[in-house]
A = this chain, B = another copy of it.
Amino acid sequence: MINTLVEKIKKTNAPIEVGLDPMLSYVPEHITKAAYEQFGETLEGAAEAIWQFNKGIVDAIYDLIPAVKPQIAMYEQFGVEGLKVYQKTVDYCHDKGLLVIGDVKRGDIGSTSAAYATAHLGNVQVGSKTFSSFNTDFATVNPYFGTDGVKPFVDVCREEKKGLFILVKTSNPSSGEFQDRLVDGRPLYEYVGEKVAEWGADCMGDSYSYIGAVVGATYPEQGKVLRKIMPKSFILVPGYGAQGGQGKDLVHFFNEDGLGAIVNSSRGIIAAYKQDKYKDQGITPENYADASRMAVEDMIADIAGALANK
């Protein structure tokens, strides 16, 4: 799957992914109104609104990008109805030719991680039949449990040719509280990065490993160091746009081949219609998806410009 990701990035010239992390407050009123008219102000109604919102965005941008990254928490908050829409969104994005990174940040002891790996990347056996449940192409994983909590995910990736992005240095303000603690004079995240490289060494695609890392755009200096520690790992870079990261901060996450990183933007794309910048270009809530397309194009240009000036 990492080979497919590389191929799609080259084809679109867009090392970016769109975070499909819908909040009800992002959904334009004409969509929620129609959904509530059909299903009432219920969890089903909320789920329908989110589905229609997602579909509009995917239809508007699918040809520009290699992948999307739905954040499962945003669906999970609506319970089973929300998770139905998560699954529907994954399937729809696949139909549109997009790769899907399930942003699930799961991780547990071995036997439990195996169940999560099955849920999101693998197949579950029921009697004589097998089924894939959420069926995403990549998943994000939390490393706190160490090797035996990560290995079941790696095993499923090897078997199913899927991929992981393992949390190394996260984009949030307090990520340093534990991740930056100095161990023999080096921050903990460097040790996690070394483990990611080690776990990934046995699962190589053509030029990159199936096993990647998450490093926040908000920490460019750390990204520079981690890029070297994990030369064969793709880095998923969240924190661009709304969280404060900019194109110029991102160049060090890439390798000399111009690859090795994929930058995520969520709110900056899916709620672009709320920005004055796009309102000034004639965007209204009714054509919110056009703003998402414009924001993707702007992001591609910002990153391409930064990489050209590297």
* Given known A41-B126, A127-B32, A143-B144, contact A77–B174 (CB-CB < 8 A): no
Chain B residues near A125 (CB-CB < 8 A): 24
Question: CA–CA, A129 to B32, complex, Å?
Answer: 14
Contact partner, A149, options B74, B112, B172, Cβ 8 Å: B172
Size of chain A's interface in residues, with CB distance under 8 A? 73
Chain B residues near A124 (CB-CB < 8 A): 43, 46, 77-78
Q: Is there contact, CB below 8 Å, between A178 and B144?
A: yes
Question: CA–CA, A110 to B171, complex, Å?
Answer: 10
Chain B: minimal CB distance from A185 (Å): 11
Q: Is there contact, CB below 8 Å, between B183 and A182?
A: yes
Chain B residues near A182 (CB-CB < 8 A): 183-184
| Interface-centre pick from A87, A108, A173, A183 (highest chain B CB count, 10 A) | A108
Chain B residues near A131 (CB-CB < 8 A): 42-43, 78-79
* Given known A77-B133, A127-B45, contact A173–B148 (CB-CB < 8 A): yes
Chain B residues near A161 (CB-CB < 8 A): none
Q: Is there contact, CB below 8 Å, between A188 and B195?
A: no
Tell me if A142 counts as interface (CB < 8 A to partner B). yes
Question: CA–CA, A124 to B87, complex, Å?
Answer: 20
Q: 0/1 per residue, A122-143, Cβ < 8 Å to B?
A: 0011111101011000000011
Tell me if A147 counts as interface (CB < 8 A to partner B). yes
Q: Is there contact, CB below 8 Å, between A181 and B188?
A: yes
Question: CA–CA, A76 to B133, complex, Å?
Answer: 8
Q: Which of A4-12, A113-121, A285-293 contacts B (4 or more CB under 8 A)?
A: A113-121
Chain B residues near A62 (CB-CB < 8 A): none
Chain B: minimal CB distance from A84 (Å): 5
Tell me if A54 counts as interface (CB < 8 A to partner B). no
Tell me if A36 counts as interface (CB < 8 A to partner B). yes
Question: CA–CA, A79 to B136, complex, Å?
Answer: 12
Chain B: minimal CB distance from A119 (Å): 4
Chain B residues near A142 (CB-CB < 8 A): 105, 107, 142, 144
Chain B residues near A179 (CB-CB < 8 A): 144, 146
Q: 0/1 per residue, A193-210, Cβ < 8 Å to B?
A: 001000000000000000
- A39-83 residues at the B interface, CB under 8 angstroms: 41-43, 45-46, 71, 73-74, 76-80, 82-83
Q: Is there contact, CB below 8 Å, between B172 and A126?
A: no
7 A-B pairs whose Cβ atoms sit less than 8 Å apart in the complex: A73-B115, A76-B134, A79-B119, A82-B133, A109-B172, A146-B174, A149-B172
Q: A45-B126, A148-B172, A178-B188 are in contact. List 17 more A-B contacts (CB 8 A).
A: A24-B126, A32-B127, A43-B124, A43-B131, A71-B108, A73-B115, A76-B116, A78-B124, A78-B133, A82-B119, A82-B133, A83-B83, A145-B170, A147-B174, A177-B195, A182-B183, A183-B183
